[in-house]
Amino acid sequence: DARVTQTPRHKVTEMGQEVTMRCQPILGHNTVFWYRQTMMQGLELLAYFRNRAPLDDSGMPKDRFSAEMPDATLATLKIQPSEPRDSAVYFCASGLGQKDSPLHFGNGTRLTVT
Amino acid sequence: GDSVTQMEGPVTLSEEAFLTINCTYTATGYPSLFWYVQYPGEGLQLLLKATKADDKGSNKGFEATYRKETTSFHLEKGSVQVSDSAVYFCALPQNNNDMRFGAGTRLTVKP
């Protein structure tokens, strides 16, 4: 069963440190999404790629967050410098890029910034 | 833009009780509609979907009918189990194929 793989599963870091989260989308999927989940805000879209090109990153704080897809098998989300308010679960999802097609989620990276 | 509104809960039921989680949508046109489920410590996974009006999606004993006249896609299950305890999200796709999710409804089923 094909899965979206995210690493690390958990990350604890100190404020000001750089954090990099990685995602391996399902082979053959051409869309990749980064979401952030918190109790207060629910699921927020941070960034969206189609065929490795960034299409929408309006949900991402540009001053500290960056998202890239160096190749079709890897998507990264970086936070530099990290802040306590960044503590959340970050999910990567991939899809076929069709409206009737569901998104497939990884199990997330739980980030705690102290 | 298109959006979904779902009852937020939390919902607590006894095993074998009937479940309804309400979801209504606002959309131009007739998008596909989805229910996702999130078990503790995991990402969201597709539970069921419907692609057009009057379609009924079903999976694992859950059902939802796409009702155009009431713009609703309520999730139902006749007899819940402890293993159904999770957070349930109603969703619809946007023009860019992003998925717009509801706030989520936490279901706890007690034995």
DSSP one-letter string for A28-96: T--EEEEEEEETTTEEEEEEEEETTEEEE-TTS-TTTEEEEEEETTEEEEEESS--GGG-EEEEEEEE-
Amino acid at B1: G
- The predicted pLDDT at position B99 comes to 86
Give the A-side interface with B, CB within 8 Å: 4, 31, 33, 42-43, 45, 48, 50, 55-56, 91, 93, 95, 97-100, 102-108
* Average pLDDT value over all residues in chain B: 94
- Is-contact A9 A20, C-beta < 8 A? no
Report the C-alpha gap between A50 and B24 in whole angstroms: 29
Q: Which residues of A touch B98 (CB under 8 A)?
A: 33, 45, 48, 56
pLDDT digits (tens, 9 = 90+) for A12-24: 999 999 999 999 9
pLDDT at B28: 85
Please, which residues bridge with residue B14 across strands? B110
Percent of chain B with pLDDT over 70: 98
Model confidence at B78, pLDDT cuts 50, 70, 90, reads very high
Yes or no, beta carbons of B43 and A93 under 8 Å apart? yes
B86 interaction partners in chain A (CB closer than 8 Å): none
Of B49-53, B98-102, B106-110, minimum mean pLDDT range? B98-102
- What are the φ/ψ torsions at residue A36 (nearest 5 degrees)? -120, 135
Q: What is the pLDDT of residue A47?
A: 94
Question: How far apart are the C-alpha atoms of B53 and B71, rounded to whole Å?
Answer: 9
| Residue A57 φ then ψ, to 5° | -130, 30
- The predicted pLDDT at position B109 comes to 98
From chain A, the residues in CB contact with B89 under 8 A are: 43
- Name which of B36, B49, B96 to mutate to probe chain A: the one with the most chain A Cβ atoms within 10 A of its Cβ: B96
Q: What is the pLDDT of residue A97?
A: 87
The verdict on a CB contact (< 8 Å) between A56 and B98 is yes
Task: Indicate whether A83 pLDDT > 80.
Answer: yes
Taking residues B64-76, what's their average pLDDT? 96
Q: What 8-state DSSP symbol labels residue B72?
A: B
Mutate to test the interface with A, among B8, B49, B98, B100 (most CBs of A within 10 A): B98
Print burial letters for A40-50: b (CB count within 10 Å at least 16), e (below 16). eebbebbbbbb
Contact A95 B44 (CB under 8 A): no
Which of A43, A95, A100 has its CB closest to that of B32?
A: A100
